[in-house]
């Protein structure tokens, strides 16, 4: 996509996901909402609940208010993923804390054999930090109050996507009418590329063992070249995997410490799945 046109000449899709947990692979998207904007107005929207593979915990339900009963008869992601991809097509995408949503959606695109999007993504959290300095923090709900946006129901995907759109548009307006999309991507200070969130392509065999065990909710015996038992075998129960500029990691419960910890994949020298 040509990034040199003034920002208001593009079509935008803001999107938000609600999930069954905090980390991709171990958790899944249970709701997605999207809003499409062009020529100064909202022109379309999309929302669906999605049925996860496993019941959600009371803690997660308390965050977004989506109960297991609400998704019991909802479609599975594989039935909706192509519709989601089609809604994105040829648009500039926006999300608040975009890497979170991109991490989850990338897994679903890959699981269902859909090429990862090439459309550019703007993170409204990163833009707001640069362009809306008057707020005490840059959480979506804080920005909604400061900018006097109708936020609807917090932590529901369609309302949060719509709020995200208005935060993003405010950021772009503050850059000026002649600011280009390239100016906006530079203002974020971070490149957001869908391929950087891939978990299933181009990874080595050890990495794929951890990915498979996480998807299948199986324990892994790893040799970790760091920490208090460096170089010795320890058993972990993986919760999810995060792609991270400082090093990809699996979030897991360590059976030695009985605590939830990060284990950087680059420091795992061997791994075997516990059957």
Instruction: Locate the domains of the chain by residue range.
Output: 7-197, 205-273
**What integer pLDDT is reported at residue 191 of this predicted model?**
85
Q: How far is CA 267 from the centre of its chain?
A: 24
State residue 155's pLDDT score.
83
Question: What pLDDT, in 10s, does the model give residues 52-101?
Answer: 999 999 999 999 999 999 999 999 999 999 999 999 999 999 999 999 99
> Phi and psi for 187 in degrees, rounded to 5?
-65, -25
Fold of 205-273: SH3 type barrels. (2.30.30)
For the chain, how long is the longest CA-to-CA vector? 60
Fold exhibited by the domain 7-197: Nucleotidyltransferase; domain 5 (3.30.420)
CB-CB contact of 241 with 214 (8 Å) = yes
Count of helices and strands (H, E) across the chain: 9, 10
Please give the pLDDT value at position 58. 97
Question: What is the mean predicted confidence (pLDDT) over 223-233?
Answer: 90
Cα dihedral 77, 30, 195, 7 in deg (nearest 10): 110
Distance of CA 260 to the CA centre of its chain: 21
Say if residues 31 and 157 touch (Cβ distance below 8 Å).
Answer: yes
| 7-197 and 205-273 have identical folds | no
Phi, psi of 220, deg, nearest 5: -130, 135
C-alpha separations of 143 from 53, 108, 182 in Å: 34, 29, 24
Look at the alpha carbons of 197, 199, 200, 206 in this order and tell me if their dihedral is positive or negative.
positive
What is the structure's pLDDT at 201?
Answer: 78
CA 168/CA 183 separation, integer angstroms: 14
Is the model's pLDDT at 124 over the cut of 90?
yes
- What band does 242 get if pLDDT is binned at 50, 70 and 90? very high
Average pLDDT over residues 129-146: 94
Q: Considering the chain, what percentage of its residues have pLDDT values greater than 70?
A: 100
Rounded mean pLDDT, 255-264: 94
What confidence score (pLDDT) does residue 166 get?
97
- pTM value is 0.93
pLDDT tens profile 9-65: 999 999 999 999 999 999 999 999 999 999 999 999 999 999 999 999 999 999 999
Pairing of strands 233-242, 220-224: antiparallel
pLDDT at 206 > cutoff 80? yes
Structure tokens of 184?
């906006």
């Amino acid at each position: 996509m040509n990034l040199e046109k003034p920002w208001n000449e593009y079509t935008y899709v803001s999107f938000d996901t609600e999930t069954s947990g905090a980390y991709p692979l171990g958790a899944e998207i249970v709701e997605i909402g999207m809003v499409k904007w062009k020529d100064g107005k909202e022109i379309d929207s999309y929302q669906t609940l999605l049925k996860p593979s496993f019941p959600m915990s009371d803690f997660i339900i308390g965050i977004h208010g989506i109960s297991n009963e609400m998704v019991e008869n909802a479609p599975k992601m594989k039935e909706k993923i192509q519709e989601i991809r089609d809604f994105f097509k040829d648009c500039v995408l926006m999300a608040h804390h975009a890497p979170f949503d991109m991490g989850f959606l990338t897994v679903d695109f890959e699981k269902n054999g859909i090429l990862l999007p090439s459309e550019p993504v703007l993170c409204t959290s990163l833009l707001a930090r640069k362009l809306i300095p008057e707020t005490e923090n840059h959480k979506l709900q804080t920005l909604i109050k400061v900018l006097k946006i109708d936020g609807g129901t917090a932590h529901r995907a369609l309302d949060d996507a719509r709020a995200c759109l208005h935060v993003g548009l405010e950021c772009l307006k503050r850059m000026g009418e002649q600011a280009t999309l390239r100016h906006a991507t530079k203002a974020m200070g971070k490149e957001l590329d869908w391929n950087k969130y891939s978990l299933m392509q181009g990874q080595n065999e050890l990495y794929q063992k951890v990915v498979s065990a996480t998807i299948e909710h199986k324990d892994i015996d790893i040799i970790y070249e760091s920490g208090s038992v460096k170089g010795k075998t320890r058993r972990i129960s993986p919760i999810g995997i995060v792609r991270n500029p400082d090093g990809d990691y699996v979030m897991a419960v360590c059976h030695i410490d009985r605590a939830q910890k990060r284990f950087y994949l680059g420091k795992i020298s061997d791994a075997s799945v516990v059957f």
